[in-house]
Amino acid sequence: MVIKNIAILFSGSGSNLEAILEKVHGKVFGNVKIVAKLLICNKLGAYGIERAKKFGLTTTIIENKAFSSREEFDVALVKEIEKNEIDLTILAGFMRILTPVFTKNVKAINLHPSILPLFKGAHAIKESFDSDMAVGGVSVHLVSEELDGGRILAQETFQRDGKTFEEWEETIHKIEHEILPKTIINILTNKENNA
């Protein structure tokens, strides 16, 4: 059996972190066992830290405000990831714009709550809801130097159907909790061609 180590980076409540830990961590797919070897959070009081404890996992805190530049922060992230021999890094609600220091050295995927390339950035849910689009959706993409701009690996859409903003947001989160674990499994069991 092959063991594949993942790192999960998060900043907030950690609902996507929990979905990954529930559906992927310690589980075997074919001949591949996926282990969440490293969790990193950049905010001391993030609720995701508590969620991780339910799985017996400790979160490494690397606060971005302790560094004088984005590059210095990214150096610390890269060091921690390399030290742990990680096969794939997942940004699950990690609210940081990463520099080439990170993007050139770490194989990472990101979850984004819109149909990319539309509605990039931090306000994607609100912007997509306020648009004239008949559909909303979720994308998983490779992390590159361009914000929310790496190669798209998976997407799923849903119909507007008169949803309120709350229903729109809820639908996005429901899809996120399915599409991200599925993409991780596909990449690490080589079903995703050369991600």
- Residue 169 zone, left/alpha/beta (φ > 0; ψ -120 to 50; rest): alpha
| Distance of alpha carbon 158 from alpha carbon 162, whole angstroms | 12
Distances, alpha carbon 98 to alpha carbons 42, 56, 58, 67, 190, in Å: 13, 28, 23, 14, 26
| Distance of alpha carbon 77 from alpha carbon 8, whole angstroms | 11
Per-residue model confidence as pLDDT tens digits over 25-43: 999 999 999 999 999 999 9
Give the pTM.
0.94
Q: Is 115 helix (H, G, I), strand (E, B) or coil?
A: coil
Q: What is the average per-residue pLDDT within 110-137? A: 96
Return the domain boundaries, the chain: 2-189
Q: Is 111 helix (H, G, I), strand (E, B) or coil?
A: strand
Q: State the pLDDT at residue 33.
A: 98
Residue among 25, 112, 141, 177 flagged as catalytic: 112
Q: Is the dihedral of CA 39, 156, 23, 165 positive or negative?
A: positive
Q: What is the average per-residue pLDDT within 60-79? A: 97
**Res. 194: pLDDT tops 60:** no
Q: What is the average per-residue pLDDT within 68-78? A: 98
**Res. 111: pLDDT tops 80:** yes
**Res. 98: pLDDT tops 80:** yes
Binding residues: 14-16, 70, 95-98, 110
pLDDT band for position 192 (cuts 50, 70, 90): low
As beta bridge partners, residue 7 has: 38, 89
Q: Are 158 and 179 in contact (CB under 8 A)?
A: no
Q: State the pLDDT at residue 34.
A: 98
Q: State the pLDDT at residue 110.
A: 96
Q: State the pLDDT at residue 82.
A: 97
Output the average pLDDT for the chain: 95
Amino acid, res. 125: I
Q: What is the average per-residue pLDDT within 87-91? A: 98
Q: What is the average per-residue pLDDT within 56-76? A: 97
Catalytic site includes residue 112: yes
Q: State the pLDDT at residue 190.
A: 85
E-strand stretches of 72-143: 88-91, 108-112, 135-142
Domain 2-189 has CATH 3.40.50.10470: no
Per-residue model confidence as pLDDT tens digits over 142-189: 999 998 999 999 999 999 999 999 999 999 999 999 999 999 999 999
**pLDDT more than 70, % of the chain:** 97
Q: State the pLDDT at residue 175.
A: 98
